[in-house]
Amino acid sequence: MNTHRRRLPGEEGVWVFILGDMVVFALFFFVYMAGLMGQPELYRESQKSLNLTIGGTNTLLLLSSSWFVATALSSLRQGLRRRARNLLMLAAACGLGFVALKFVEYGQKVDQGLLLTTNDFFMYFYVFTGIHFLHLAVGLFVLLYLWLRLGNDASPGDVQVFECGAAYWHMVDLLWLVLFPLLYMVR
Amino acid sequence: MYFSKTTLVWLALLLLTALSWFITSDDHGLRYLSQSAITAILLGVAMFKARLVILHFMEIGEAPVALRLVFEAWVLLVYGALMAIYAGLFSV
């Protein structure tokens, strides 16, 4: 692939959306950090209840799902549609693993009596991880759409559409890469 | 090389994740580091990982320079603002 000529993956609109979403999440990050500095002892104490193993596993799942999506795009560019579809399924499987662990994690918290209304830390925890989770859920539908589309005959716009979907999925991944250490580790 | 660039980036991301985990779990041998230093490292590593995803998975590294600049700015501004708030520059 010619790496010397710069090109825009996907199309402009998806990048406007992605950047907008990243700005919104940046504001979430700032608000949380301000909250932490406002009530450091409360946040640090509450943070101890978080399940680092689930959070860490979820990180590995999303990183791997991005690898599958990136490799699927590469396969599609080489005309290997079946391979791209299989890799999409594996990416989705990782995403579903994240969903399952998220339910387990929230379930654990509820069992411990730690709810959205418990204190400011848990309000931010549920709201921000919840909004991220909704983004991931949308991402799963995006992957499904790409998978279905690749089942049809090849069409000229296939790669560009795939690039758009892939970019969105990678955004979901990178937002978690910041959110996870911020909520679970920073104190 | 045996591994594609995508795979190498993924491996780097895994390693950096493990590194952060290590730093936060028990601070083995890092007891001389202040909490502030650890936070600066954790967030720095996080932003660097996000940047790897942006440049290599999202392929912004090969996108028009203007778009790349915007993403690089996001990484720097988010890190800068988070550290500034952490350092107490914007106390409410």
Angle (CA) A14-A99-A65 rounded to 5° is 55
Which of B14, B17, B57 lies nearest to residue A170, judging by beta carbons?
B57
Instruction: Scan for tokens 């440049």, then name that residue.
Output: B55
A162 versus B22: which is more confidently predicted?
A162
- Verify whether the Cβ–Cβ distance A182 to B43 is below 8 Å: yes
* B1 contact partners, CB below 8 Å, separation of at least 6: B8
Give residue B90's pLDDT: 75
CA–CA distance, B86 with A165 (Å, rounded to integer): 35
Span B70-84, average pLDDT: 98
Percentage of chain B with pLDDT > 90? Answer: 77
Per residue in A38-84, pLDDT tens? 999 999 999 999 999 999 999 999 999 999 999 999 999 999 999 99
CA B13 to chain CA centroid, nearest Å = 10
Residue B5 pLDDT grade (very low, low, confident, very high; cuts 50, 70, 90): very high
Span B38-62, average pLDDT: 97
Give residue A11's pLDDT: 94
Residue B2 pLDDT grade (very low, low, confident, very high; cuts 50, 70, 90): confident
B82, B90, B91: best to mutate for the A interface, most A CBs within 10 A: B82
**Which residue in B has a C-alpha nearest to residue A58's C-alpha?**
B17
Q: Among candidates A46, A64, A78, which has minimal Cα distance to B17? A: A64
- Please count the CA atoms within 13 angstroms of the CA of A164 that sit on its side-chain side: 14
ipTM, two decimals, is 0.95
Residue B25 pLDDT more than 90? Answer: no
- Verify whether the Cβ–Cβ distance B63 to A7 is below 8 Å: yes
- Verify whether the Cβ–Cβ distance B6 to A71 is below 8 Å: yes
Average pLDDT score over chain A: 96
Neighbours of A62 (CB within 10 A): 28
Q: Among candidates B91, B85, B92, B90, which has minimal Cα distance to B36? A: B85
Contact A54, A104 (CB under 8 A): yes
- Please count the CA atoms within 13 angstroms of the CA of B89 that sit on its side-chain side: 9
Is A17 an 8 Å CB contact of chain B? no
Residue A28 pLDDT more than 90? Answer: yes
Residue B69 pLDDT more than 80? Answer: yes
Per residue in A132-177, pLDDT tens? 999 999 999 999 999 999 999 999 999 999 999 999 999 999 999 9
Residue B91 pLDDT more than 80? Answer: no
Helix, coil or strand: residue A63: helix
Residue A3 pLDDT grade (very low, low, confident, very high; cuts 50, 70, 90): low
Residue B92 pLDDT more than 60? Answer: no
Q: Dihedral sign, CA of A28, A52, A100, A108?
A: negative
Give residue B80's pLDDT: 98
**Which residue in B has a C-alpha nearest to residue A183's C-alpha?**
B43
